[in-house]
Amino acid sequence: MYPFIHIGPLAIPTFGLMVAAAMVAAYYVLRADMARRGLAPKDSPLPEMFIAVPCLCGIVGAKLYHVLESPRQLLADPMGELLSRYGLAWFGGLIAGFAAFVWLARVKKIPLLEMLDAGSPAAALGYGIGRIGCLLSGDGDYGKPTSWSWPWGMAFPNGTVPTTETCVQHGWPANCRVYPTPIYELVVACIIAWILWRLGARFLPKRPASRGLIFAAYLVLTGVARFLVEFVRINPRSFFGLTNAQAASLFSIVAGAALWLAISRKSPSRSPV
């Protein structure tokens, strides 16, 4: 694996590089969706703002959430922990990024549910591309060992979190190959983004009755995807044998289903379901 790309004295982290690629891809999808919804023309700076601000806030939130999970280490070396290139918590990034997105929609006076609908395909695609950064850096987001007969099993001996160490810690052979879960998530994220885009085109003539349905579908689909992939991950279990991500995924699924039902019942005569 390649945690860093070295160009002379410059070391470029592959994780950060893929996060940047995810932002660019999400920008183009969001720009196209906002244009077809009549929220902003393609030459408007609004889509760029709705990508840049939440992403930057998400990175800050992910770092803060990570360091606050280990207060002893933070107090022992505050600047070292805060400025470290490692350690980003997905849940913290989600909270901060979502809050920034909602704030921008309020400031720009765009209907919140409509803006969340427009941002859902972009968010799904951006998440999948960002996961490839986890694959390239070998940061520990890989899965459990696969069978040696499975051709897609991978090893990350030179990753940020080497499989040689992780496998030994769990009592597995040091040269074990593991599930490349970031690849799974990329494939599923692309499928989800395509489904959401198609649903958006289908529901466009039924606005405003359908506002929020794309976002509700996003919550359900991404929640199901993340819940399932955690079964082959090495993340520790906490809530009733589930990982923290699985608990958050269940909340996402329930919230999405509740939002879909609430919107559908609100306008039964024009229900897009």
Dist CA 128 CA 187 (whole Å) = 7
Share of the chain above pLDDT 70, in %: 91
Note the pLDDT of residue 5.
83
CA distance 232 to 243: 11
Contacts of 68 (CB under 8 A, 6+ apart): 74
In tens, the pLDDT along 154-173 reads 888 888 888 888 888 878 88
For residue 149, the model assigns a pLDDT of: 65
Residue 95: per-residue pLDDT: 87
Mean of the pLDDT values across residues 3-11?
82
Q: What is the pLDDT at residue 271?
A: 47
pLDDT band at 265 (very low <50, low <70, confident <90, very high): confident
Q: Which residue has the higher pLDDT, 148 or 30?
A: 30
Which phi-psi region, left, alpha or beta, contains residue 271 (left: φ > 0; alpha: ψ -120 to 50)? beta
Residue 89 has pLDDT above 90, yes or no: no
If you average pLDDT over residues 140-152, what whole number do you get?
77
For 142-205, the DSSP string reads: -BSBPPTT-TT-B--TTSSS-HHHHHHHTTS-TT--B--HHHHHHHHHHHHHHHHHHHHHHHGG
Q: Where are the beta strands (DSSP E) in the chain?
A: 4-7, 10-13
pLDDT for residue 36 is more than 50: yes
Residue 4 structure tokens: 């860093």
Predicted pLDDT at 74 = 66
Q: What is the mean pLDDT of the chain?
A: 86
Q: Token pair for residue 167?
A: 């496998």
pLDDT exceeds cutoff 50 at 112: yes
pLDDT at residue 187 is higher than 90: yes
